[in-house]
Amino acid sequence: MDLQGSFHVYDTTLRDGAQQEGLNLSVADKLAIARQLDGLGVGFIEGGWPGANPRDTEFFRRARSELDLAHARLAAFGATRRAGVAAADDPQVAALRDSGASVVTLVAKAHDRHVELALRTTLEENLAMVRDTVAHLRAEGQTVFLDAEHFFDGYRDNRDYALEVLRTAAEAGAEVMALCDTNGGMLPGWVADVVHDVGAATGVRVGIHCHNDTGCAVANTLAAVDAGATHVQGTINGYGERTGNADLVAVVANLELKLDRTVLPTGLLSEATRIAHAVAEVTNVPSASRQPYVGTSAFAHKAGLHASAIKVDPNLYQHLDPVAVGNDMRLLVSDMAGRASIELKGRQLGYDLDQETEEGKELVGRVIARVKELESRGYTFEAADASFELLLVEEVEGVRPAYFDIESWRVITENKPGDEAASEATVKLRAGGARIVVAGEGNGPVNALDHALRLAIGQAYPEVAKFELIDYKVRIVDQGHGTDAVTRVLIETTDGSSSWVTVGVGHNVVEASWGALLDGMTFGLRRHHT
Amino acid sequence: MDLQGSFHVYDTTLRDGAQQEGLNLSVADKLAIARQLDGLGVGFIEGGWPGANPRDTEFFRRARSELDLAHARLAAFGATRRAGVAAADDPQVAALRDSGASVVTLVAKAHDRHVELALRTTLEENLAMVRDTVAHLRAEGQTVFLDAEHFFDGYRDNRDYALEVLRTAAEAGAEVMALCDTNGGMLPGWVADVVHDVGAATGVRVGIHCHNDTGCAVANTLAAVDAGATHVQGTINGYGERTGNADLVAVVANLELKLDRTVLPTGLLSEATRIAHAVAEVTNVPSASRQPYVGTSAFAHKAGLHASAIKVDPNLYQHLDPVAVGNDMRLLVSDMAGRASIELKGRQLGYDLDQETEEGKELVGRVIARVKELESRGYTFEAADASFELLLVEEVEGVRPAYFDIESWRVITENKPGDEAASEATVKLRAGGARIVVAGEGNGPVNALDHALRLAIGQAYPEVAKFELIDYKVRIVDQGHGTDAVTRVLIETTDGSSSWVTVGVGHNVVEASWGALLDGMTFGLRRHHT
């Protein structure tokens, strides 16, 4: 089945998504994201605007040799020719023609006021610019899509002209006319009405490009599809200017899982969660835990009320099986969760906290009390399963796993004039029966402590050489007090085969990090010794 | 106009919103949020579940004396009586009756499978539980709303029973039957169909309670209103379990600004942005910059493409005037923004970067080059206007403002056995012609450096005593390398009357913080000396 023919899933993360505040993508980033998008099975990847900035030009140059796409076709975005210049003589159009992309998506003004005020030309010339540019690119063998900018606002102000822009592009050979809600002010009912009318009045193939300014980007996109659009544009994680573009994963998941439409190659939707998070690693925009379908919280249950029922039947409390999008149902340890959550969590970790027995009841009670006390001090175990498991083990076995005994630590950070600041840590501890004193350097206090700690413990337990700290998150738990606040540190440690997250808390960010480091080492050592 | 009679804006931030992963509200937090919600003019504030946990019981107790609401009525949430117990004898129902709230919102099972599998009782007994509990509370003089849990799933599996639950509650005296998409799997068209049918089949007053699992919570809520619902439930910032509840501000802004319905007291919607961010300060859940209407990016423009047109007419590029929701249009300094953005930004800061003149062109070119170079190293000026202004001043006046000259600094953090870790900083600098050496203590390295720096500078410039560091944000710019990564620090400093944000970057988090601290001091001093 040729999905690219029947229905277009068109991703614009690398172009419109990159307009997001705080988001800066290198060429390498863009290539990495393109590979992820191809893994999701989207039909088209809009790579950027060749000729508009050196980064995008470089992306298309490298894409030719470095991007081997299994599913997607690469699209180059650009504008129609400048006023009063032949399309063939416009260097910007030439850059599109020569980009190597098999599709060119031309942005054209469809709103009369934009033509006059922003483009500063006549309505007639704008039509000629559309006609000439599309025709030129088609003659050069390009597939051409049209992005009708500000279409919905233009339709409201001057329906005839907005429709004329679409007709002109279609007659010149553009295959898809994507209606853009560039300012994002539309609601689903309005989008549906306009898409219906455009189809009836022009007969062109309609695409849809929505932004989330009313919080309805996904619903607007679905409304357009319901009204006849067969080409949807969006971005991974809903990246984009202002409130972002339509979240392409949510759009696709709704189409496939809710509306029974096949828009991706079979089986690839189950990669969505992994891919959405992988892309977030590249963009370094922290994933929104509440993100539909792929968020870490999207299928998580907290309330004790629910947890007891989930034990009976998970489907009572989830709208679909998270496996369909590669996500999973987690239970959160929290002082809002009842005994059922703790019991379930314990079972997931391999402990049978049978509440029928007195010991089981009493044990779960102790764990809940500990969790509540620690969470009241700023700890969280929702994201730190390894620290929670250590707590659970301590309560089950009556003693906390210990492989070393810290005597003291110290870290100094100072600036060498004209040089970067440097940190140096000293750690004194007992392990394997010996007293060990080690110094470690680092380009930050926690980095130095991490090096010193692993050096010291490594003398007794060589396996820690394999341990590596792969993620470090600092959060001010008690905002508004500047550096005085309580800080919470989450650390992710790996042994190469798997990774685990631990938590530390303290008024001192270094002390909080130290606590998380110790838990990380202890958890890893326990895994190798049991 | 009695909005509470004609249309209900019902906030459940304190109850359903509090179910969000990682969100923990103290009683004081809940009281503070309730005051903010009242300032927004919502008709109802659901405070929690008295009797279910001590925190919520305490909230309602203190609310009686400490909450003086101008617009909202307080609602207590709770369940129908237990099976086989008279409502009057059920302590949980008694807690609702005695909570002091003028409205009780009863959650009732409307899905037959939930009655049998989760509630473990008969369908008949569940109806009796609804009837008895509503009747008992009405007899006690309470206004009663019904939350029909899992209504949409229940309607699909057993329409007759779901409708019978609503009729039973209405006949017993419940005023509003809120249809809950508890699992959040609905799409707008489905919600509209069900709400239409419920209204036609039962004639009850319908409310709507949506979750965002399909990314359509706002659109689903609007679809229900369009189909006849006159009571909308949601939460500030869309807080809630899994993907969250319907974002009440987006719902209300769409109703008032897009659909011309009056649902809040006149003028209060323009408080929405301030209130949404104030609540985020209390919950300590960082605000989503992309949040519709109230996000810091919601009306921000980045692309150079747009900036040039914005100079012509802002309304060409925004779907409405941000003032309507108390937000504002910002322009971001970024290597994607063209000269027009820099010129506009400069003008906002009081510098006329006239690009007609050669100097103006050349100057803007220099600024863009500096910004690009610094952003490539991990700086960002989008959120750090003060650091950008210092950069601009340096380029305009040819020299960077300098009030002190750093010689060196050092900070030591060590753990006192059995005690919290402590930090001690030494700062050596020249200011006001004197060499100053000062030590400062703190409960963290940056805190200690901040104290020492202000102590030292204060000897030459007493006004810095007024300066205070009120927010501190650390971000790993280059994730995935643990503590090795480049860190970016944003610091907000206040002089009591206003505040400014500065940025620092470095491999060493302490060095990055130091850079931001220096900018913060310099910007504040310049403000007092010019």
Separation between Cα atoms, residue B157 and residue B112, nearest integer Å: 8
Q: What is each CA distance from A37 to A44, A45, A71, A230, in whole angstroms?
A: 9, 7, 9, 19
Closest CA to B143 of B210, B68, B231: B231
Report the run of H or E that residue A377 belongs to, with start and end: none
Partner-chain contact A292 B212, CB within 8 Å: yes
Domain shared by B277 and B306, yes or no: no
The answer for B8, left when phi > 0, alpha when psi is -120 to 50, beta otherwise, is: beta
Q: Please name the residue of chain A whose CA is at the shortest distance from the CA of residue B417.
A: A408
DSSP assignment letter at B498? -
Domain shared by A327 and A427, yes or no: no
Q: Is B450 helix (H, G, I), strand (E, B) or coil?
A: helix
Chain A residues in contact with B214 (beta carbon < 8 A): 218, 250, 253-254, 258, 292, 319
| pLDDT at position B25 | 83
DSSP assignment letter at A235? B
On whether the CB atoms of residues B187 and A258 are closer than 8 A, the answer is yes
% chain B with pLDDT above 90: 62
| pLDDT at position A427 | 95
Digit-coded pLDDT (tens) for B354-364: 767 888 888 88
| pLDDT at position A523 | 96
Q: What is the dihedral of CA A373, A374, A380, A384, to 10 degrees?
A: -130
Query: Cα B65 to chain center, whole Å?
Result: 27
Q: Are strands B143-149 and A206-209 parallel, antiparallel or unpaired?
A: unpaired
pLDDT at B403 over 50: yes
Residues 6+ apart with CB under 8 A from B188: A188, A219, A222, A223, B216, B219, B220, B222, B223
pLDDT at B481 over 50: no
On whether the CB atoms of residues A64 and A75 are closer than 8 A, the answer is no
Closest CA to B143 of B294, B331, B8: B8
pLDDT at B333 over 80: no
Mean pLDDT, rounded, of chain B = 89
Domain shared by B277 and B307, yes or no: no
Q: Determine whether A397 is exposed, middle or buried from the number of CB atoms within 10 Å of its CB (0-12, 13-18, 19+).
A: exposed
Domain shared by B147 and B213, yes or no: yes
Count of Cβ atoms closer than 10 Å to residue A418 Cβ: 5
Q: What is each CA distance from B171 to A480, B90, B103, B146, B365, in whole angstroms?
A: 50, 21, 17, 12, 73
User: Shortest CB distance from B412 goes to which of A19, A412, A513?
Assistant: A412
Task: Kindly state whether residue A388 falls inside one of the protein's structural domains.
Answer: no
Q: Among the three residues B283, B313, B338, which one is the final residue of a domain in this structure?
A: B283
Partner-chain contact B118 A316, CB within 8 Å: yes
Task: Kindly state whether residue A317 falls inside one of the protein's structural domains.
Answer: yes
How far the first Cα of chain B sits from its last, in Å, is 51
Count of Cβ atoms closer than 10 Å to residue A393 Cβ: 19
User: Which of B24, B115, B216 to mutate to probe the A interface, most A CBs <10 Å?
Assistant: B216
User: Which of A236, A296, A510 to mutate to probe the B interface, most B CBs <10 Å?
Assistant: A510
* Residue-by-residue DSSP string for A61-80: HHHHHH---SS-EEEEEEEP
Task: Kindly state whether residue A386 falls inside one of the protein's structural domains.
Answer: no
User: Which of A242, A249, A379 to mutate to probe the B interface, most B CBs <10 Å?
Assistant: A242
Partner-chain contact B284 A477, CB within 8 Å: yes
Domain shared by A451 and A343, yes or no: no
Structure tokens given for B368: 């863009």
Q: What is the dihedral of CA B42, B48, B54, B60, to 10 degrees?
A: 40
Q: Among the three residues A376, A391, A422, which one is the final residue of a domain in this structure?
A: A376
The alpha-carbon gap from B175 to the nearest alpha carbon of chain A, in Å, equals 25
| pLDDT at position B166 | 98
User: Shortest CB distance from A469 goes to which of B215, B482, B487?
Assistant: B482
% chain B with pLDDT above 70: 91
Chain A residues in contact with B243 (beta carbon < 8 A): 290-292, 295, 297-298
DSSP assignment letter at A204? P
The alpha-carbon gap from A275 to the nearest alpha carbon of chain B, in Å, equals 16
On whether the CB atoms of residues B328 and B299 are closer than 8 A, the answer is yes
Task: Kindly state whether residue A234 falls inside one of the protein's structural domains.
Answer: yes
User: Shortest CB distance from A219 goes to which of B216, B303, B442?
Assistant: B216
Partner-chain contact A117 B332, CB within 8 Å: no
Separation between Cα atoms, residue A327 and residue A276, nearest integer Å: 11
Task: Kindly state whether residue B2 falls inside one of the protein's structural domains.
Answer: no
Domain shared by B207 and B352, yes or no: no
The alpha-carbon gap from B487 to the nearest alpha carbon of chain A, in Å, equals 10
Count of Cβ atoms closer than 10 Å to residue B314 Cβ: 14
Count of Cβ atoms closer than 10 Å to residue A444 Cβ: 29
On whether the CB atoms of residues B216 and B188 are closer than 8 A, the answer is yes
Chain A residues in contact with B18 (beta carbon < 8 A): 336
Domain shared by A312 and A270, yes or no: no
Partner-chain contact A114 B471, CB within 8 Å: no
| pLDDT at position A408 | 93
Query: Cα B326 to chain center, whole Å?
Result: 14
Structure tokens given for B475: 């971000």
Domain shared by B98 and B207, yes or no: yes
Count of Cβ atoms closer than 10 Å to residue A432 Cβ: 11
Domain shared by B39 and B126, yes or no: yes
Separation between Cα atoms, residue B113 and residue B352, nearest integer Å: 69
**Which amino acid, A529?**
H
Partner-chain contact A412 B411, CB within 8 Å: yes
pLDDT at B323 over 90: no
User: Shortest CB distance from B479 goes to which of A281, A301, A309?
Assistant: A281
Count of Cβ atoms closer than 10 Å to residue B387 Cβ: 26
Q: Which of A433-442, B276-285, B361-370 has the lowest mean pLDDT?
A: B276-285
CATH number at residue A267: 3.20.20.70
User: Which of B415, B416, B489, B503 to mutate to probe the A interface, most A CBs <10 Å?
Assistant: B415
Task: Kindly state whether residue B256 falls inside one of the protein's structural domains.
Answer: yes
Q: Determine whether A430 is exposed, middle or buried from the number of CB atoms within 10 Å of its CB (0-12, 13-18, 19+).
A: middle
Report the run of H or E that residue B411 belongs to, with start and end: strand B404-415
Q: Among the three residues A329, A359, A376, which one is the final residue of a domain in this structure?
A: A376
Separation between Cα atoms, residue B291 and residue B300, nearest integer Å: 12
DSSP assignment letter at A11? E
Selection from A309-323, A486-500, B168-182, B478-492 with the highest mean pLDDT: B168-182
Domain shared by B94 and B168, yes or no: yes
Task: Kindly state whether residue B1 falls inside one of the protein's structural domains.
Answer: no
The answer for B120, left when phi > 0, alpha when psi is -120 to 50, beta otherwise, is: left
Separation between Cα atoms, residue A73 and residue B106, nearest integer Å: 53
Report the run of H or E that residue A512 belongs to, with start and end: helix A509-529
Q: Please name the residue of chain B whose CA is at the shortest distance from the CA of residue A29.
A: B478
Separation between Cα atoms, residue B423 and residue B443, nearest integer Å: 6
On whether the CB atoms of residues A189 and B220 are closer than 8 A, the answer is no
The alpha-carbon gap from A206 to the nearest alpha carbon of chain B, in Å, equals 21
Separation between Cα atoms, residue B483 and residue B503, nearest integer Å: 19
Partner-chain contact A297 B479, CB within 8 Å: no
User: Which of A221, A285, A479 to mutate to probe the B interface, most B CBs <10 Å?
Assistant: A479
Domain shared by A15 and A108, yes or no: yes
- Number of domains into which chain A is organized: 3
| pLDDT at position A1 | 42
The alpha-carbon gap from B474 to the nearest alpha carbon of chain A, in Å, equals 7
Strand partners, B8: B231
Task: Kindly state whether residue A395 falls inside one of the protein's structural domains.
Answer: no
| pLDDT at position A237 | 97
Count of Cβ atoms closer than 10 Å to residue A416 Cβ: 9
User: Shortest CB distance from A24 goes to which of B19, B375, B443?
Assistant: B375
Partner-chain contact A21 B382, CB within 8 Å: yes
pLDDT values of chain A reduced to their tens digit, one per residue, 530 residues:
455 678 999 999 999 999 898 787 888 889 989 999 999 999 999 999 998 878 899 999 999 999 999 999 999 999 999 999 999 999 999 999 999 999 999 999 999 999 998 889 999 999 999 999 999 999 999 999 999 999 999 999 999 999 999 999 999 999 999 999 999 999 999 999 999 999 999 999 999 999 999 999 999 999 999 999 999 999 999 999 999 999 999 999 999 999 999 999 999 999 999 899 888 877 767 778 899 999 988 988 765 555 666 666 777 888 988 888 988 776 565 544 566 667 777 777 777 777 678 878 888 888 888 887 887 777 877 668 889 889 988 988 889 889 999 999 999 999 866 777 889 999 999 998 999 999 999 888 999 999 999 999 999 999 999 998 877 777 666 543 445 567 888 888 888 777 788 999 988 889 999 999 999 999 999 988 87
Residues B318-340 have a mean pLDDT of: 72
The alpha-carbon gap from A423 to the nearest alpha carbon of chain B, in Å, equals 8
CATH number at residue A478: 3.30.160.270
Partner-chain contact A482 B474, CB within 8 Å: no
Separation between Cα atoms, residue A92 and residue B347, nearest integer Å: 30
| pLDDT at position B477 | 63
The alpha-carbon gap from B203 to the nearest alpha carbon of chain A, in Å, equals 25
Separation between Cα atoms, residue B248 and residue B212, nearest integer Å: 12
The parent domain of residue A174 ranges over 8-283
Q: Is the ipTM of this complex over 0.90?
A: no
Domain shared by B311 and B345, yes or no: yes
The alpha-carbon gap from A444 to the nearest alpha carbon of chain B, in Å, equals 4
Q: Are strands B468-476 and B487-494 parallel, antiparallel or unpaired?
A: antiparallel
Query: Cα B119 to chain center, whole Å?
Result: 35
User: Shortest CB distance from A318 goes to which of B19, B183, B470?
Assistant: B183
Query: Cα A521 to chain center, whole Å?
Result: 29
Q: What is each CA distance from A287 to A273, A276, A277, A423, in whole angstroms?
A: 11, 8, 7, 31
Residue length of chain B: 530
User: Shortest CB distance from B281 goes to which of A20, A308, A480?
Assistant: A480
Q: Please name the residue of chain A whose CA is at the shortest distance from the CA of residue B246.
A: A215
Q: Please name the residue ranges forming H helices in B172-303.
A: 188-202, 217-226, 248-253, 272-283
